[in-house]
Structure 1
Amino acid sequence: MKALTQRLSQEQMALLPTDEDVAFYEEHGWYISQKVIPDEIIDEAILGSEKFYRGERDATLPYKTGYSDWQPGDGNAVRNNQHVSYRKKELRKLLHPMIGAIAAKLARTRGIRLFEDTLVYKAPTINEGEGVVGWHTDYSYSSNCTSNKMLSAWIPFHDTDVYRSPLVVIDGSHKWSGTEHMRSFNNQNLKEIENTFAQEGRKIVEVPIIMKKGQVSFHHSLTIHGSYPNHSNLPRLAFALYLQDYDNRYQPFWNNGKQIHHFLDRMCRKLPNGYPDYSDPAIFPVLWTE
C-alpha cells in the first residue's frame, strides 16, 4: 500500500493547531480539533463499517488470534475490531492527511505513520455498568515501541454528547509515573482502576470529549482514558487511530521473563537484524510527512 500523504490546501492549513494549542496539548495530554474530516468521508466509513460487520472484507489478516476482532454472537455492548483500515477500503479513507498533519504538529515531529487502528461500536446500554471501557493507557499496549511521543486520534462518526459514550480522558495524566503498563481496557469497574493510580497530590479530573461530527480528538499515549456506558438511545460508532511519530522504531520487550510481540510484528517486513520494521508502508502507512 502506498503512503497516503498529500499537500494541504490553505484552508486546511488554517485548521492546524496553533502554538497555543500545542502548548495546551503538552500540558493537558489531549486536544480537540476543528471540523477537519468531511461528512462524506465519515458517511462512507459508516457504510463500510456496516459491510464489515456483515462479514465483507477487501483484505484479510493472515491469522485469527492475537488481536481483538468482534464477531456476531459476541454481544453488542462493546464491539472492538482492530486494524480495520487494512481490511476495509472505506475505513482506510480515515487515514486522512489532516489527521497526520495535526498529530505531527502536536508531537513536534516531521512525520506520522499509523501503528494500529480500532473500530469501536457501542449499543445503547441495557444493563447498568455494561458498555464501559476501563481506564488504560495506549502506551501499555505498545511496549515494543521506542517512542514516548506516540499519540491517538479518536474519530466519532456522529455528534457525541455526554450521554452517547464519549471518550473520557484524565486531564494531565500523561505526566504521571507508574501508568505505563495500565492494560485495563476490559475492566468495567472504573473506580477500582482509579484506586490503582490515585495518589496524594494527584488531582483526578475526568474530561468527557464532546465533539461534533468531523472533529477529531487527540491524546498522548500516556494519557489515561476510557469511556462511560452509552446512555443514549442510538448506537455509538467511532474509529481510533494509534499513531507513530517519525522516530519510532521496534524494540524487544520482556514481561516476567516472556518476550512480548505485537500482533502486527508477524505481518510487516523485517529489518536486516530480523526486527519488525515499523516503517513498512504496507502495514504502517504514512499519513503525513513534511
Structure 2
Amino acid sequence: MAQSSYVTQEDVLFFRENGYWVSPKLFSESELEEMIEHQEKIYRAEYELGREPWSTWKAGDNPRSLRKTDNAHWSDPVLRRVATHPVIGEIAARLMNADKIALWHDQLLYKPGRADRRHTANVGWHQDYVYWQCCAEPSLVTAWVAFTDVDLSNGCMQVVPGSHKWGLIKVNDFFEQNLEKQQEQMELPDGQAFRPVPLVMKAGQVSFHHALTIHGSGPNTTDSPRRSMAVHLMTGDTRYRSGTPAEGHMNVKLLNGRDGDLFEGEPFPVLYPASVR
C-alpha cells in the first residue's frame, strides 16, 4: 500500500468515515494554464494523439449545457498526464488501502457561466457506482481535478458525508437538473440525514470521493466557466460482473472479457505503483 507524503493517517481515517477528502494543491499555475489550453483543443477537435475521445461536446452542441468528454486521455498528451498522474494514483492507493490503482476512465468537464432558469448545467445527485455496476464491488474512487477555483457561486461539487456507507440509494441521475426534487424523492437509511457539504477548492487541488458517495453540483452563476477533470480510478482487484444494468458501459466493451475477469490491460493504464506503468 502507498505511503503518500500528501496523506496523513488522519486523512485516511477522515476519508473512510466521510467518503471524501480534498488534497493540497497538486498542480502549478503553469500546468493549469496548459491544461486549460488543451481542454480547448479538445473542443476544437484538435487531437494531438490522433484518436478521438469516446464521446465529447462538439461545436454546434448546446453552448449552455454541461460539456462532458469521456476519455480525453486518448486524444491529448497533456490531459493524459493529468489522468494518469502518479501522485493522484499514490493518494488513491493510500485512501483505498490498495496495492494497485489503475484508470477506470476520465471525464473532462466544462460548466458554462451565467446560468439562468432554463439552462443550469447542474449535475444531479448520484453515486458513481450506479453507472459502474459492471464492477463486482464498488472498489473505485474519483479524483476530481479543479482547473479553476470552485465554490458555490460557480457550481462546485457537493458531497453527502458518510453516504458511501448507505449502499445504492433509489434516486440516482447525473443529468437531473432539479436537485431539490431529487432530494425529496430519496429513500435514506433509517437515522440518516441528507446534509451536503460544498467542496470549496483552489485551482490545482484535487478532491477524492468513494464510488458510493452521493454528490452533485448546482449552477454556475458567474461569468467564467468552471473547468475540471474527473479521473475515475479503480483498485487492482476490480473485476467484471456480467448481466447488470451497466452492461452497456464503454469499459465492458473495451475489456471484451468474461464474468469475473479483472479490468486490466492497455485500456486501463496503471497509475500506482509507478514501476508498472
TM > 0.5 between the two? Answer: yes
Q: Which amino acid aligns with 2:96?
A: A
Of residues 101, 112, 131, the one that matches 2:90 is 101
Residues 175-211 of structure 1 deviation map (CA, whole Å, 9 limit, x = unaligned): 11342x7540111111121123244522111111111
Aligned residues: 268
1:85 paired residue number: 73
What residue ranges of structure 1 are gaps of 5+ in the alignment? Answer: 1-7
Matched-pair contact (CA < 8 Å) for 2:98–2:236:
yes
Residues 193-246 of structure 1 deviation map (CA, whole Å, 9 limit, x = unaligned): 112324452211111111112210000000011111001111111000110011
Answer yes or no: is 1:171 the counterpart of 2:161: yes
1:36 paired residue number: 26
Which protein has the bigger helix share?
2
Answer yes or no: is 1:239 the counterpart of 2:229: yes
2:272 paired residue number: 288
Please say which of residues 126-135 and 209-218 is displaced more in the overlay.
126-135
Answer yes or no: is 1:194 the counterpart of 2:183: yes
1:142 paired residue number: 132
Which SS does the other structure have where 1:44 is aligned?
A: helix
Report runs of 4+ in structure 1 exceeding 3 Å deviation. Answer: 273-277
Answer yes or no: is 1:60 the counterpart of 2:59: no
Alpha-carbon separation, structure 2, partners of 1:46 and 1:142: 28
2:199 paired residue number: 209
Alpha-carbon separation, structure 2, partners of 1:232 and 1:169: 21
Q: Percent identity?
A: 35
Q: Which amino acid aligns with 1:279?
A: E
Matched-pair contact (CA < 8 Å) for 2:4–2:91:
no
Q: Which amino acid aligns with 2:110?
A: Y
After superposition, where does 1:254-269 map in structure 2 within 5 Å?
254-255=244-245, 260-268=247-255
2:60 paired residue number: 73
Q: Which amino acid aligns with 2:12?
A: V
TM-score (norm 1): 0.85
Matched-pair contact (CA < 8 Å) for 1:114–1:242:
yes
TM-score (norm 2): 0.89
